[in-house]
Amino acid sequence: MRTQQRLAWGLLVLAMLLYIVEMSHQALLRYDTFKATAFDLGNMDQVLWNTLHGRPFQFTNQAIDWYGPPTRLAIHFEPILLPLSLLYAFHADPRTLLVFQTLALAAGALPVFLLARKYLSEWPILAALFSVAYLLSPALLGLNIFDFHPISLATPLLLYALLAFTYRRYLWFLIACVLAAACKEDVPLAIAMLGVLLLWRYKHPRLGITLIVGGLAWSFLAFGVIIPHFYPGVQHNNYWYRYESLGSSPGAAIVNLVFHPWLLFTTFFTMERIYYLASLFRNVGFLCLLAPEWLLPALPSLAVNLFSTNDSLLYSGVYHYNAPIIPFVMLAAIQGTFRLIATWRTWRGEAVAAVIPGATTREALPNAGTAHAYPLTSLGDRMTALPVWSMGKAVVGALAAFIIRFMRPAWWRVRWERYNQRMMPLAKEVALSRLQWIIVVWIILMVALDFLTAAPALNALWADHDPGPREQQIQQLLAMIPPNASVSASDNLNPHLSEREQLAVFPSVSGTVNGKQYTVQYVIVDLNAIFPQDRAQTVKELNQLVNSRQFRPLARKEGVVLLVRRSTSQLKSAIIDKRDKRICIRVYL
């Protein structure tokens, strides 16, 4: 056992180190090869830079379809950005965020390991394996590689919260929950659902009520007060377009779902969404389904992802939308494995010890040796004995009887006892030591399968080459832009210019700061990074800027065009320069 413990700790440390080195390298490589994007690395970089310089949450890094004020509070409520801005006191650079995010996500492997060691104390190798499964989860890899998002920090924070609860460190549990809630406005809903679980399952009334009231109040403050205050418009939310098929507003959506519940099946019951759920659960060998109550806190985030009809990225399985889901899937899998082992012990006639704080063995799993023969006579039985006047009445009566039986504990106990009788001979043949390695092999196979199936989606996010001459040429163009100048940059160049007060995403060339409108001084666009179907329109917009005499070409290299705004005196004395127009057309077309 001691050898296995040392091996497990060694595997954990090795896995975390390899993850940190490789994912930091991949994240930085993606940035250096101009695959990082304005949404959201450029946004977050500018917000943190502005916050450090006394302009909390301010950002102008917006596209032409944004009509809100220049503040992050009009989009999301993420107070965690305030302490995060202190990172820029040491080194203000987007790469600081990328490395910090990798370190934070890697740190989540430790509570996964410790939780598994707590519940599966006799099998330390399984604890290390769960940590590796966490680190290799496509949901986590996609969260890590795709720019930086504050909600990514909710993943390790929620894991540490669950660890603190398991060890009954309730003060640290509450601190971790508050920090996780500060990562994004929908995380408090997960915390409120966690409170429901603690109140219902683990009999912690004060702790559960605290989480429920605090989580709901926080979410109401964010969704009902702060974001609507800063975001103009009827919906008071920049993202409701994703759910417009449910209704014109959140209130209308709730009414529609209450009175038209079949919408859940006709609209959202699709193979893509089923595949998404399978991808979340497959990485842990579907063992999380053996402790389904621990998936309850993930329901708000799952609903946000699954109910979207206009943005399939939410249920693609490899973006930051899964951050609040990952911790509960991991703990559910660990709990599910504990229950499987405990059930196996029961089938073998061995004693089972409870591990979960506030829980008993009976709460952990049905007791295979204490089934009773409950009478099945019920309202449903009596209904089926009445005279049947029509086929419809007979069908309704039979269905009602089945549902009533299905919901009765006695119905489950009888069937559980029958299942026990069938499984006991197998359990006595398969020793627990062999079961351990069966579970190990099963999880390894599922992790490999999950990684392979998610590879196409992840490949779109990885960098596909090392920096070369083209990247050097682009860096030379970027160096021509003064640090304090206002800029409009294309999506992939934007994060390299985001530490300034005035920034826009091309084709937007204007903005508003402190109530004053401005037009950017520089425009830089990488035509090679524009989608082919959008390239002609981008060329047209660049030509319009030059033909308007407001901007002139300054430099061009490797498909990257740099324009500079003419000064007021140049605009007054400017005449139509056919040579400028000819150069512009030749360059862009």
Tell me what pLDDT residue 394 has. Answer: 54
User: Is 84 within the bounds of a domain?
Assistant: no
The verdict on 453 and 399 lying in the same domain is no
Q: Let me know the angle formed at the C-alpha of 384 by 383 and 390, rounded to the nearest 5 degrees.
A: 95
| pLDDT for the residue 398 | 58
pTM of the model: 0.87
Q: Does residue 92 belong to any structural domain of this protein?
A: no
The answer to whether 472 touches 466, Cβ cutoff 8 Å, is no
Whole-number Å distance between alpha carbons of 106 and 13: 10
Range of 485's domain?
A: 469-588
Q: Do 447 and 320 belong to one domain?
A: yes
Terminal C-alpha separation, the chain: 70
- For residues 350 and 343, give the distance between their C-alpha atoms in angstroms, rounded to a whole number: 10
Helix (H, G, I), strand (E, B) or coil at 555: strand
Domain match, 358 and 391 both: no
User: What values do phi and psi take at 4, rounded to 5?
Assistant: -65, -40
Do the domain assignments include residue 78? Answer: no
- The CA distance from 242 to 234, in Å, is 15
- Last residue of a domain, which of 421, 446, 466? 466
- Respond yes or no on whether the N-terminal peptide bond of residue 40 is cis (omega within 30° of 0): yes
Q: What is the structure's pLDDT at 382? A: 35
Q: Are 496 and 355 members of one domain?
A: no
Residue 324 falls inside a structural domain: yes
Structure tokens at 255: 């009414």
How far is Cα 126 from Cα 119, in angstroms, rounded to an integer?
Answer: 10
Write out the two tokens for 302: 């799952």
- Evaluated on CA atoms 557, 492, 56, 86, the torsion sign reads negative
Query: Which pLDDT belongs to residue 516?
Result: 83
Asked if 401 and 300 sit in the same domain, the reply is no
Indicate the pairing of strand 560-565 with strand 551-557: antiparallel
For residues 514 and 517, give the distance between their C-alpha atoms in angstroms, rounded to a whole number: 8
Q: Are residues 414 and 453 in the same domain?
A: no
Q: Are residues 370 and 423 in the same domain?
A: yes
For residue 98, being part of any structural domain is answered with no
Residue 377 sits in the same domain as residue 407: yes
Residues 72 and 81 sit within 8 Å (Cβ to Cβ): yes
266 and 379 in a common domain: no
Q: 10-residue block means of pLDDT along the chain (589 residues)? A: 89 98 98 95 96 94 70 93 96 97 98 97 94 97 96 98 96 98 96 95 92 96 90 63 73 78 76 92 95 95 88 87 97 96 87 55 37 34 40 52 61 77 86 91 96 93 94 96 95 96 92 84 95 92 93 94 79 49 45
pLDDT number for residue 350: 78
Q: Residue 147 domain-assigned? A: yes
Give domain status of residue 69, yes or no: no
Choose one of 429, 452, 477: the last residue of a domain: 429
Distance CA 59, CA 380 (A): 62
How far, in Å, CA of 22 to CA of 216, rounded? 39
Whether residue 440 sits in one domain with residue 570: no
Q: Are residues 419 and 447 in the same domain?
A: no
411 shares a domain with 476: no
Tell me the chain's radius of gyration from C-alpha atoms. 28
DSSP secondary structure letter of residue 94 = H
How many structural domains are present in the chain?
Answer: 3
Q: Is residue 274 part of a domain?
A: yes
CB–CB of 22/102 below 8 Å? no
pLDDT for position 392: 47
pLDDT at 406 (0 to 100): 57
Spatial separation of the C-alpha atoms in residues 565 and 545, rounded to whole Å: 9
Residues 6+ apart with CB under 8 A from 159: 108, 111, 112, 115, 327, 330, 331
339: nearest Cα among 290, 409, 286: 290
